[in-house]
Amino acid sequence: MKFDFHTIVIGAGSAGLMTAGILSNLGAKVALIEKNKMGGDCLNTGCVPSKALLYHAENRWKPSGMSKHNGVSFSDVMSSIHFTINAIAPHDSVERFEEMGVNVFDGHGKLLDPHRVEVALNKGKQMETIELTGKNIVIATGSRPRVPDLEGLSTISYLTNETLFHLEKLPERLVIWGGGPISMEIGQAFSRLGSDVSVILRGNRLFKKDEPEVHEVMKDLLEKDGITIYFGYEPMAITKTEIGSKAVHEQFQLLMKQRETGVEKSITGDQLLLALGREATYENLGLENAGVEVDQRGYVKVNEHLQTSQKNIYACGDVLGSYQFTHMAGYEAEIVTRNLILPIKAKAEYSKAVWTTYTKPQVAHSGHTEASAKKAGRLGKVLVKSFQDVDRSMIEGDTAGFAKLILDRRGKIIGGTIVSNEAGEMIAAVSLAMRKKLKLGAFQSLIYSYPTKAEIFKALAVDNLQDSVKPWQRNLIKKWLGRPINKER
């Protein structure tokens, strides 16, 4: 059978753009289908605007003891965020990818069978469909915010990350339901901009995917920033606040119950942000027409090569539900493109996954945690050091965090967690050490600029060396150093 394209990519978010770009640059004929904005969640409603918000909140915030309001309007902050989005947008634009040779289709793609895709083009009121054929198909349709069932939720204009950055007024009282990375980042940013922020979570631990030590450090710091955290609470109902007979759209009352004690509590707010995770986006995608299966969680099911139940159809990015980060979507896209062009199939390896939560301080992680290493039977040694012992951190007053490294039984680095203002940058050293299967001694042999926070890696290595010296070795060294010194006659 003759095909129109070597590969049809459905979805122009991080995973889809990388897949289409690499394949086209290598000479493949590629079709890229996107029904919404190019760049997907990361550019338009995720990574870019949220990190821009954090930047402006940090640089416009006044520390404790001073007014949080410093004369800069909230509309100026939002304008700056959208300016940043527009500045980056050309990197992900239709024009750029068409210059690469990618055939971009503005419309909704639907699988008709394992090789045919129908595209309903966005032509305004005019309905037009075309049919494309491809030897291979890549599903990269991403995810969307999960919206729970809650009595009264439909009566208010709640926020998700998709609508948050269209706010025109700074919320006086922002209530965030959920305790994940989005909640932590947005909560701290809005608190620093001047909102009274409350966070509600079902569990009793923040940063639950990270090392347990992170919880106590970040809980204290976030509460010092003015955030109220309700641990172990389950929202039950939400209602608009009424003044007389008139409902006020900007205010609501949220009733919640403590899951352990059953005690009920009500809080008020003028904006509710849902940050309860995400779910795969594949409505009307025609997965059943092509025999593509989904797993019990509702995500597209793939094997270790990222092939779906149809071997010529691959999937990558948020639609898999594995690690919903832009950089992991890029990693999966690289695996897919390799498998589309090379005869020997590459495997997706998640044991070296990396992520960063961009609070202040940042929380960064790579590879195994202590618990996961133990579960996998790989735990050899755990090393922890506070930034209170690092000169650069003392200079900057960034001493609340720590670095934790996980070693296997051979002394190789298999995981690490860093809590520090530059943790997202520093974690790359841990990732590199893991990728190259280095032992901790590799950090000791490096020459570090002084003063830098990266010196904590050397300090960990030196501490480990000192702790590993046995008593008989110490005695031997002591005797050797204490031997008589021959004097010249």
Q: Give the span between the Cα atoms of 81 and 59, in whole angstroms.
A: 13
Q: Work out the number of other CB atoms within 10 angstroms of the CB of residue 401.
A: 26
* Predicted confidence band of residue 66 (pLDDT cuts 50, 70, 90): very low
Residue 249 phi, psi dihedral angles, 5° rounding: -65, -30
Tell me the pLDDT of the chain averaged across its residues. 92
Cis peptide before 361 (omega within 30 of 0): yes
Residue 190 region by backbone torsions, left for phi larger than 0, else alpha for psi between -120 and 50, else beta: alpha
**Which pLDDT score, from 0 to 100, does residue 365 have?**
97
273 in Cβ contact with 164 (< 8 Å): yes
328-355 pLDDT, tens digit per residue, is 999 999 999 999 999 999 999 998 899 9
Residue 230 pairs in a beta bridge with 200
The reported pLDDT for the residue numbered 366 is 97
At 384, the pLDDT band (50, 70, 90 cuts) reads very high
Opening angle at CA 54, ends 50 and 58, nearest 5: 170
Residue 1 reports pLDDT greater than 90: no
pLDDT at 146 over 80: yes
Amino acid in the structure at residue 340: L
pLDDT mean over 167-193: 95
- Same CATH fold assignment for domains 5-38+93-145+279-341 and 354-471: no
Number of H helices, E strands in the chain: 15, 20
**Between residues 408 and 1, which one has the greater pLDDT?**
408
Q: Is the pLDDT of residue 79 over 50?
A: yes
Least confident of 413-417, 433-437, 461-465: 461-465
Confidence of residue 419 (pLDDT cuts 50, 70, 90): very high
The CATH number given to 153-276 is: 3.50.50.60
pLDDT digit string (tens) for 163-176? 999 999 999 999 99
Query: pLDDT digit string (tens) for 265-303?
Result: 999 999 999 999 999 999 999 999 999 999 999 999 999
- How far is Cα 206 from Cα 219, in angstroms, rounded to an integer? 7
- In this predicted model, what pLDDT tens digit does every residue of 245-260 receive, in sequence order? 555 556 899 999 999 9
8-state DSSP, 439: B
Query: Tell me, what's the pLDDT at 71?
Result: 52
pLDDT category at 88 given cuts 50, 70, 90 is very high
Predicted pLDDT at 489: 47
Q: Are strands 271-274 and 278-280 parallel, antiparallel or unpaired?
A: unpaired
pLDDT in tens, 2-48: 999 999 999 999 999 999 999 999 999 999 999 999 999 999 999 99
Please check the confidence at residue 69 and state whether its pLDDT lies above 80: no
Q: Is the pLDDT of residue 405 over 90?
A: yes
The per-residue pLDDT for 394 is 95
Please give the distance of CA 461 from its chain centroid, rounded to a whole number: 29
Residue identified by tokens 């110490």 is 474
> Do 138 and 30 form a contact (C-beta atoms < 8 A)?
no
C-alpha span between 115 and 135 (Å, rounded) = 6
Tell me the per-residue pLDDT of 216-239, one tens digit each, with 9 for 90 and over: 999 999 999 999 999 999 999 999
Architecture of domain 354-471: 2-Layer Sandwich (3.30)
Q: Which range, of 64-73, 299-308, 462-471, averages the lowest pLDDT?
A: 64-73
Are 113 and 132 spatial neighbours (Cβ–Cβ below 8 Å)?
Answer: no
The C-alpha angle 46, 49, 51, rounded to 5 degrees, equals: 95
Characterize the bridge pairing of strands 381-386 and 402-407: antiparallel
pLDDT value at residue 474: 65
Q: What is the DSSP string of 46-59?
A: SHHHHHHHHHHHHH
The domain defined by 5-38+93-145+279-341 folds into FAD/NAD(P)-binding domain (3.50.50)
CB 260 within 8 A of CB 232: yes
Q: What pLDDT score was predicted for residue 60? A: 67
pLDDT at 123 over 90: no
For the chain, which residues make up each domain, given as ranges?
Answer: 5-38+93-145+279-341, 153-276, 354-471
What's the pLDDT score for residue 244? Answer: 55
| Per-residue pLDDT, 65 | 40
